[in-house]
Structure 1
Amino acid sequence: MTNTQTGSVRFEGVVKKYGDVTALKKLDLAIEPGKLVTLLGPSGCGKTTTLRLIAGLEMATQGKILIGGEDVTHLTATYRKVSMVFQSYALFPHMTVRENIAYGLTVKSVPKAEAAAKAEEGLELVGLAGFGDRLPSELSGGQQQRVAVARAIVLEPEVLLLDEPLSNLDAKLRRHVREEIRQIQQRLGLTAVYVTHDQEEAMAVSDNIIVMNNAEIAQIGTPADLYEAPSSAFIADFIGDANLVACDVEKAANGLASAVLDGQRYTVPSPEIAKGAAQMVLRPHALKLGAPGGSGLKGEVSYAAYLGKEIQYTVETDVGSLFIIAPVKVDPFKQGDVVSVEIETDHARIVGV
């Protein structure tokens, strides 16, 4: 199975209101064909509303929505070339797996033999060949989710939409199924829009992530962009673990800022930022613990947790509590040890207060 119809998605000044409540502020975005883009953010940020607007399950209050270059702003879901995978799977319990996958094709009046053949192709694509005669109740949660993906894909949509597709699975199974979804999307060259509140999940599957907050876009970028170069304290705190500590910017130019932290001067990658009070983003892996007396921040270990592949520390310093992740060593630091904390400035970042 190949997808020759994969399409782009574009929002031009899209607003969604429910009476006096603005669920989505003026939104402009562009999703390229063949890319998997995740809408990520806390509850109530507007990500699900955005997905439903693409699907045609909600109509825009103002603005324009284009799919594959076609203006679909006023078209309902029936007339849009999209398929959606729901959080609840939405499988018919009385139908076999094959019948569930073929259901959308049957509704579109595809001949029975052709629908059955496409359903078998879908089963093979998601690794469930031979499961067609089973009922959904005879499948695991992960297998049911794969059936839901197959049912959406056999319709050959221009855009595949996935709404919190893994939230009903346990952590280990989520990792496995998200890898399968990503592999299928890449193999078919599908344009996919994926909604989740789980930042690790978003980073694992996405070409690009659209982080939303307060009904608008906070930042768009690759997983690495968002982690290494957050544009705000919100992004730094939301994408991965981060220590945010107060600092004072002396100057900033050419992508670098000179900032004073605890009486020491650091040169740190930074967007253009005004002189004065700011925050330094310190990732847990970019902080190195050493013996006391070093040139770094002075601190005391208040907590240490051995997790097999790493040790997690909380260190009390004059700039606040710092969360630090360190590799396992023969003689690790323990609670009560006095230490110095070195900052790897290449992996730090300055953001506004």
Structure 2
Amino acid sequence: MTKGAVRFEAVTKMFGDVVALKPLSLDIAPGTLVTLLGPSGCGKTTTLRLIAGLESATSGRILIGGEDVTHLSATYRKVSMVFQSYALFPHMTVRENVAYGLTVTKTPRAEAHARAEEGLAMVGLKGFGDRLPSELSGGQQQRVAVARAIVLEPEVLLLDEPLSNLDAKLRRHVREEIREIQQRLGLTAVYVTHDQEEAMAVSNRIIVMRNAEIAQEGTPFELYDRPASAFIADFIGDANLIGVEVTRTGAETEILVNDTRITLPLAHDKTGPAQMVLRPHQVQLSPEPVPGSFAAEISYAAWLGNVIQYTLATPVGPLFVLSPPVAHPFAHGDTVHVNFRPEDVRLVRTA
């Protein structure tokens, strides 16, 4: 195992009788950015704190760079954390904030400040060293927190909801900067968020957690295009989940939806009830019926500039649809006909 790799071997965490993390095994490759994603209480922050040494494992082993750090305190682990709140000292200058960790480890003051200036340059804040945190924007403060973490030359950079205090436009900008810094320095990074768009934008791999265990892991594309369950389909992007009956399996799968039999060019393991996953942009609407379509009524319509958003009342339940902008969109109360391409459909288990 090389520098920066992280491994969990059947790691568990208990808080009294509460199971915060079920036996968890995972590998994070060096130089990659892996996001722990999931709803509140799923175990993602506990996992991050176990890597940092801020929590101790109840059982199992944690390895960083091939070294067993299970029983090492945070002080002796080669990791740095960027906190949600930035945790900057308001009475210190930006330079002093960035150099703080170095001075704690007895690095000579001149060297610590020189390295702090290098760190600030890395995050695009050269010349900001004499300012106080209160004189910076939220995005700049977050970059100071990143600089403070990377000047310690960690094997692993940990980021705990780092963008949650920023507005939407600034979040997009700062997440791009964090990703660029991580790639340029070749850092192994573990990123925690509950925002699926943020996770998809920055990650090499995403580990989706639910109920203190891994629900599914993979690249952003794999999770979006091949969800393993209805939970993943609904959590990673918007999805319409439609109850169907699988009537034939094999290299191709036949389903029954709204009394219509449809052959899908995908394999499925068993017949019986299932759920069809159809992404909002994959639903096609037309004013007139086409083969295989069914009628629906527009119950909500909103023009959002680059897309038109519809909610449909249909025989298979409400559908959420995103359509390209047109000069004359459908309006509330219109009857439309719903169609989709069989190759766009994915099937997941009902539970």
Change (3 A) 1:342 1:128: same
Give the match for residue 5 of structure 2: 8
Spell out, residue by residue over 1:207-247, the C-alpha distance to the aligned partner (whole angstroms, 9 max, x if none).
00000000000000111111111000000011110110100
Partner secondary structure for residue 59 of structure 1: coil
State the distance in 2 between where 1:253 and 1:123 align: 58
- Give the 5 Å matches for 1:59-70: 59-70=56-67
Counterpart residue identity of residue 86, structure 1: F
Deviations 1:12-56 (A, max 9, x none): 000100111110001010000000000000000000000000000
Equivalent of 1:257, from 244, 253, 259? 253
Deviation of 1:345 (Å): 2.4
Counterpart AA for 1:276: G
Q: Is 2:53 the partner of 1:56?
A: yes
Write the deviation string for residues 128-155 of structure 1: whole angstroms up to 9, x where unpaired.
Answer: 0010000111111111000000000000
Q: Work out the CA distance in 2 between the residues paired with 1:323 and 1:54.
A: 39
Residue 286, structure 1, aligned to residue 282, structure 2: yes
Residue ranges of structure 1 left out of the alignment (5+ in a row): none
Query: How does the TM-score come out when normalised to structure 1?
Result: 0.96
| Aligned partner of 1:305 among 296, 302, 305 | 302
Any residues of structure 2 matched to 1:111-260 within 5 Å, and which? 111-254=108-251, 256-260=252-256
Match of 2:44 in 1: 47
> Quick check: 2:36–2:192 contact (8 Å CA) kept in 1?
yes
SS at 2:249's partner residue? strand
Compared with structure 1, are the counterparts of its residues 30 and 162 closer, same or farther at alpha carbon in structure 2 (3 Å cutoff)?
A: same
Question: By how many angstroms is 1:110 displaced?
Answer: 1.3
Pairing partner for 2:273 from 269, 272, 277: 277
1:23 touches 1:215 (CA, 8 Å); kept in 2?
A: yes
Q: 2:89 aligns with which of 82, 88, 92?
A: 92
Shift of 1:291: 1.8
Count of paired positions: 348
In structure 1, give the amino acid aligned to 2:284.
Answer: K
Normalising by the residue count of structure 2, what TM-score does the alignment of the two structures yield?
0.97
Q: 1:191 and 1:68 mapped to 2: Cα distance?
A: 10
Q: Distance in 2 between matches of 1:156 and 1:6?
A: 12
What percentage of aligned pairs have identical amino acids? 70
5+ residue gaps, structure 2 = none
Match in the other structure for 1:349: 346
Please report the RMSD computed on the Cα atoms of aligned residues, expressed in angstroms: 1.2
Change (3 A) 1:89 1:232: same
Structure 1 partner of 2:78: 81
Q: Which runs of 4+ in 1 moved over 4 A?
A: none
